[in-house]
Amino acid sequence: MKAIALNATLKSGADRSTSSTGHMLGLIASELQRHKVECEVVALADHAIQPGVTSDEGEGDEWPMIRDKILAADILILGTPIWLGQPSSVCKRALERMDAFLAETDDQGRMVSYGRIAAVAVVGNEDGAHHVSAELYQALNDVGFTLAPNAVAYWVGEAMSATNFIDLPEPPQKVQSAIDVMVRNTLHLARLIATDPYPGRK
């Protein structure tokens, strides 16, 4: 059982140490670790991901390397900050590249992504987590991922607040509970599907 987490923060390089999304993904990776599941975290903004909707947009495109990691894992955690109540452009870029899965099917019509379980992490100063999870659920489900119940861990502050999740003295208990539930359900489903994959068309 292997997991990959994509951090869709706008921050790259050294700035990324201040990423609240990265902080949330770290908590999720720890919980996975507690269940003996390794989770690599990839910061998307550190990579040159070309605009496009194919799996390889040619010279200089680092998406193929990330795509390989996604397909080598059983579980995908997609983490994004909220800007203007919506997922980040970096997150949208990754989803666009996964659009290619729609045409990458086996001889029984199953996308290359089938059998993988997705979950979502959303962090913002204020408001937007439900909508962001809605958009990510739909896009990820469209491109072949399965969703266990309560597939999101999120934190946002009160309306029009400016506090960062990473600056809280410690994660609220409710956030830790949501992570526990998300990880437990996602792992359960990943194990079931690994043993007994989706059937193709006859």
Query: In angstroms, what is the minimal distance from the CB of 62 to a second copy?
Result: 15
Q: Quick one: which of 13, 60, 109, 169 contacts a second copy (CB under 8 A)?
A: 109
Question: Contacts with a second copy: how many residues (CB under 8 A)?
Answer: 72
Stretch of residues binding a second copy (CB under 8 A), selected from 17-25, 26-34, 63-71, 167-175: 167-175
Question: Among residue numbers 18 through 57, which ones bind a second copy (CB under 8 A)?
Answer: 45, 51-53
Q: Which of 27, 146, 183, 190 binds a second copy (CB under 8 A)?
A: 146
Q: In terms of Cα–Cα distance, which of 126, 93, 100 is closest to 6?
A: 93
For a second copy, which stretch binds (CB under 8 A), given 19-27, 61-69, 70-78, 140-148?
Answer: 140-148
Q: How far apart are the first and last CA of the chain?
A: 28
| Separation CA 118–CA 100 (nearest Å) | 17
Those residues whose C-beta lies under 8 Å from the C-beta of residue 90, and which sit 6 or more positions away, are 8, 9, 10, 44, 45, 49, 80
Rounded CA-CA distance 127/85 in Å is 6
Task: Please pick, from the candidates 43, 178, 179, 190, the single residue that binds a second copy as defined by CB under 8 A.
Answer: 178
